[in-house]
Structure 1
Amino acid sequence: MLGVTPVAAAGLLSAGATAHANTPADTAGDTLAARIAEITGRPEFTGAHWGMRFQLAGADPVYSMNPTQQFVAGSAFKVFVAGSAFAALGADRRFLTTVHRTGPVDRGVLKGDLVLVAGGDLMLGPRIQPDGSLALPVPDHTYGNASEPVPGDPLRQLRQLARQVARRGVRHVEGRVLVDASLFRQGTAAIANGGITIPVSPMMINDNIIDVVVTPAGQLGAPGGLRISPDIAFLTVVNETTTVARPTRRLTFTEVSTAPDGSRTVRLTGDVGLGGMSVVAPYYLPDPVRFAEVAFSLALREAGVDVAEAPRTSGGRGWAQVAEYSSPPLTEQVKGMLKVSSNPHTAYWPYLVGAIAGRDPETPKATGERYQREIFEKAGVDPDEPVDEKYTADFFVQFLTYMARQRYFTTYRDAMPIMGRDGSIAHVLPDSPAAGRVFAKTGTASQGQVLNKALAGYVVLPDGRLVVFAQFMNKPVGSLAEAMSLQGVIETAQGEIAAAVYDSLTR
């Protein structure tokens, strides 16, 4: 659930709002309109307001309902962030993480420091599987409602780099292990997850999270069991969780102390349900750079490289590279933001665009946002039209139509969740003829007494034609529990609407 500016239910849709369907045959249009009216008119959507536009690329709308009225898009806006990244950085952009020595190596002894240079790779960690595929389980571990961390080794790439250092003949480091995070000045971002603010650093390992997996005990009142990943003696958790019949308290970390070496002690409170699944409580690292230094030091020792951790001058010999890891291309990097809707990843992209494309390490976010405005202008939409995180269906469709004309479009489209197949809509209508043909970003936002849902992207018809669409819904709710229970119902309904458009154009 993404927290947003409070939304008033009244005024988003006028009482006289109308819907229009246009297809090659009037009968088909009438059938489509009737099908969508049946979906939106179900009892569970009483009091809901809808807006949408489905349009064949380069043609008239197939169906529209209140396309000029504004709705809260939630995470659907991430298609704009991804579009800016594709345009500014290029689909083939790779992010290098390198290791340099600051002094000479004499008979296996490095007379200087080892420096891990952060290149902005957002996928350092377990998401890259040994076969090169991505692990993108839903729900994502960054949200605090997953039952397991991302499968795999959170320090996998650091261990690869450490082995490279060892193969270069380094056996002992007289100096320190340091991280160079000068790609851009570290910032902060609110990620709409329990009011959490995270640092935005060029160095990211395991999404800059330590996963604390809490398993319910076998009896009421007992503390849950804890498992920490990666467990590198960086985080000590004082366990004050409680196993209860019906959890009411969110798992929450409170800082207790910070040791001179940067390691942390925290208190974890909250509830887990008796007989229920484990819950991943994500501890967002307050100092990603120091964590990476500790983690890389551990990886080096495992590779047979001893680290003295003592200050050491380089002797004036300059830096020399001793290891390198190259990320998968941007087309894969953006899937963390699009497929599983990672809010931390989303916060990073304007910084990366500003720092790399804009060559601005000092104010990268502002420069990244300038690139975002520029692509809006190129797409023919007004960058100032959205207000309070609210957009029209027309705005989305115009932007997505522009993206469909770009040479990198196919990879941009494929990075989105695919209905019935993967990402946040893998569970939606997997047996529908439209499954595997709807590529779209979801959005959820709830604050106060209104639940907002969005779905925007593309429908690919069997003959290759492309339908560009955006659809929104908001509905008053009485509680957070009601909002949570409605999410899957609405996601299915929005999938049914996309499938109805697909069916109407393939008959």
Structure 2
Amino acid sequence: MTATLMATVATVGAAGPVPAHHDDLSPEIRAIMEKPAYEHAQWGLLEVEGSTGRVVHSQYPDQFFIPGSTGKLVSVSSAWHALGGEHRFTTPVQALGRRTGSVLNGSLALVAQGDLTMGGRTKPDGSVAYTPIDHTYANDVPGATLTPENPLAGLDMIAQQVRRSGLTKVQGDVAIDSRIFSTASAPQLDPLPTPLIINDNVIDLLTTATAPGRPAQLSWRPQVAPYQVTSTVKTVAAGGTTNIVVNASPDGTRISLSGTIAAGAKPELRISPVQDPAAFGRTALIEALARAGVTVTAHPTGPNPSGLLPRSYAGTQRVAAYVSPIFAEYTKLIFKVSHNLGANLTICLMAVSTGSHACGDGFAVINSFLRQAGIDPTQVQMLDGRGGNPNDRVTPRVEDEILHYWQGTEEAKRFREALPILGVDGSLTSVCEGSPTCPGKGKVWGKPGTFAGFDAVNQRATVGAWTLGGYLAAGHGKLNTFYIAMTGASAPDINGVLAIGNDVARIAGLLQQEAEARSHA
């Protein structure tokens, strides 16, 4: 889900109003589409039988819609095709200078490779952890939670390898080499990818209620110098207002929380951005080295000394390397929680796969993937990887064709299961909450997306788009591809925006139910 609230929402579609046609849809689906909330909305829909190619439902399949995070189906599919599902990122640490016994008279260079998590979410079995509402959404969507893994795990593993290499002292400095790609050619990517990413480039701030009238309890991670966090959040009576505000200094290193949290409420998570990921990573690595028994003489805080980096690492010794989980696991993370940073990162990774350092060259890889898949690339307009740019557009047909493409590959099952499952996991977990019956539960695999903003005239939320694309279990082991798009609704608040998403998901569930019923008729 793309949860960033935009001040304006671009309009979609042909000039003038386009009448809605729901005549071939069931009464239950029509009832959802014709709710008062959608009085001014337009719906697009395409459902195709995967085994025969027969079109089951079609409504404006060739019209552009704002994709929201279903744009990730385009970018991440292209990256998966370019890199391969088994691709791993190897982040090496090279020793620069002369080594005398256990002392390096020189510096260490961590050569960043665009690893999305650097071990911060990796479980013992090599899979990547996620929660239904990711911590990266904590400032925008209620209910965000943390995974239990240590955000600094990858750096700790690197530091331990350095120590096992025999080094105990670095008579010099530590530098982060971020030259693998540059975002100068794609500054519109938001959030902006960086070659080294630790904890998604954010500080987690968890506030826990205590007794009414008492200061709330604060915990934060990762704790890296010179970052400091203070809190004046107070606990108020049960049922009171929970409202926590985060402020940070211009360099991001001084963070303060203020506001209130109700007694008995669940802990409230907020985040604050890391402004200089390379400098942050350098300090974090120096601190990890100290924990592992390796002393670095340089001061641990300060700018990243990129001037120390050589033109080439030929002739230098590799003293450590962190190897990531496979890219298919990163795809699952991006899809399940709608990880915006990860989706934008794929643009840069695709550029690197062609030998380019310019992230903007990644868009040509998307064009190439679509053409190789036999898909018309003019059905896509994208300026980022996450589907959140106001210029982004897709047709229901192109999304459906991408989904169909994967069904004809050896990665079909793994790709499908990387998507959120309705009522089960990822960003579709909550669809069935509070509902005694939930059509499609466990039988719809889909990527949701939304593009929301604020209506200052009426003081309410706007929903420029809410979309959902994926697969329906159609009975007898068969799958249908589908794409649903809604543009032009409003809601009183963020909970109303989420309710619109549930409506779209319920339509998918009803389509699944009908497809399965037809197979048994």
What's the TM-score, normalizing by structure 2?
0.83
Partners of 1:9 and 1:476 within 8 A in 2: no
1:205 aligns with 2:198: yes
Alignment partner, residue 321 of structure 2: 324
Number of matched residues? 482
Shift of 1:48: 4.4
Show the counterpart of 1:227. 219
Q: Deviations over 1:105-137 (max 9, x none)?
A: 323111221221211111214311123232110
Q: Contact between 1:397 and 1:470, CA under 8 Å: does it hold in 2?
A: yes
Query: Is 1:60 aligned to 2:54, yes or no?
Result: yes
Q: 1:92 to 1:125 in 2, by over 3 A?
A: closer
Q: CA deviation at 1:439?
A: 1.6
Does the aligned pair in 1 maintain the 2:43–2:485 contact within 8 Å? Answer: yes
- For structure 1, the 5+ residue unaligned runs are 22-31, 192-196, 259-263
Alignment correspondent of 2:355: 359
Task: Please report how far the alpha carbon of residue 10 of structure 1 lies from its aligned counterpart in structure 2 after TM superposition.
Answer: 9.1
> Matched residues in 2 for 1:345 and 1:12: separation?
35
What is the 5 A alignment of 1:218-257? Answer: 218-219=211-212, 224-241=216-233, 247=241, 251-255=245-249
Deviation at 1:84, TM superposition (A): 0.8
Q: Which amino acid aligns with 1:453?
A: W
1:272 deviates by 4.0
- Structure 1 residues 276 and 418: alpha-carbon distance in aligned structure 2, compared to 1, 3 A threshold: same
- Cα distance between partner residues in 1 of 2:440 and 2:257: 44
Instruction: Give the counterpart of 1:474 among 487, 502, 510.
Output: 487
Query: CA shift at 1:158, angstroms?
Result: 1.2
Task: Output the CA distance in 2 between the equivalents of 1:183 and 1:403.
Answer: 29
Structure 2 distance, partners of 1:119, 1:385, is 28
* Contact kept? 1:189, 1:347, Cα under 8 Å: no
Alpha-carbon distance in structure 2 between the residues aligned to 1:114 and 1:153: 23
Query: Kindly tell me: are residues 502 and 91 of structure 1, through their superposed partners in 2, closer, same or farther at Cα, counting changes over 3 Å?
Result: same
Unpaired segments of 5 or more residues in structure 2?
A: 300-304, 383-390, 456-461
Match of 1:309 in 2: 298
Letter of the 2:429 partner, please give it.
A
Superposed CA offset, 1:385-410 (max 9, x none)? 54833333222212322333334333
Q: Identity of counterpart residues, as a percentage?
A: 27
1:199–1:287 contact (8 Å) kept in structure 2: no
Displacement of 1:55 in angstroms is 0.1
Pairing 1:337–2:350 present:
no
- How do 1:338-487 residues align onto structure 2 when only pairs under 5 Å count? 338-355=335-352, 357-361=353-357, 363=358, 365-378=359-372, 379-383=374-378, 386=381, 388-429=391-432, 434-449=440-455, 450-451=462-463, 452-481=465-494, 483-484=496-497, 486-487=499-500
Is 1:288 the counterpart of 2:282? The answer is: no
Name the SS for the 1:17 alignment partner.
coil
- The 5 A counterparts of 1:266-277 are 266-269=255-258, 272-277=261-266
Deviations 1:123-160 (A, max 9, x none): 21431112323211021000124453221111112111
Q: C-alpha distance in 1, partners of 2:68/2:309?
A: 50
Structure 1 distance, partners of 2:65, 2:260, is 35
Map of 1:24 onto structure 2: none
For residues 190 and 18 of structure 1, the distance between their equivalents in structure 2, rounded to whole angstroms, comes to: 37
Contact 2:419 2:446 in 1 (8 A): yes
Residue 300 of structure 1: how far off its partner (Å): 1.1
**Secondary structure, aligned partner of 1:427:** helix
8 Å CA contact retained: 2:61, 2:396: yes
1:176 to 173, 177, 189: 173
Q: 1:236-266: CA deviations, max 9, x gaps?
A: 12435455676586633331567xxxxx223
- Between 88-97 and 100-109, report the one with greater CA deviation: 100-109
| TM-score, length basis structure 1 | 0.85
Whole-Å Cα distance in 1 between the matches of residues 403 and 98 of structure 2? 53
**Contact 2:94/2:319 (8 A) holds in 1:** yes
AA partner of residue 494 (structure 1): I
CA deviations over 1:47-85 (Å, ceiling 9, x no partner): 543221110124221122332333322111100011110
- Deviation at residue 298 of structure 1 after TM alignment: 1.3
Aligned 8 A contact 2:13 2:65 in 1: no
Q: For residues 422-448 of structure 1, give each alpha carbon's deviation from its aligned partner in whole angstroms, at most 9, with x where no partner exists.
A: 211133349757433322100122124
1:219–1:33 CA distance, 2 compared to 1 (3 A): same
Q: In structure 1, what residue type is equivalent to 2:156?
A: R
State the AA in 1 paired with 2:211: G
Instruction: Report if aligned partners of 2:94, 2:108 keep a CA contact under 8 Å in 1.
Output: yes
Distance of aligned partners of 1:329 and 1:200 in 2 relative to their CA distance in 1, 3 Å threshold: same
The separation in 2 between residues aligned to 1:368 and 1:267, in whole angstroms, is 38
* Equivalences for residues 14-163 of structure 1 within 5 A: 16-19=19-22, 21=24, 33-41=26-34, 48-57=41-50, 58-144=52-138, 145-163=142-160
Q: Report the counterpart of residue 268 of structure 2 in structure 1.
A: 279
Do 1:163 and 1:303's aligned partners in 2 also have CA atoms closer than 8 Å?
Answer: yes
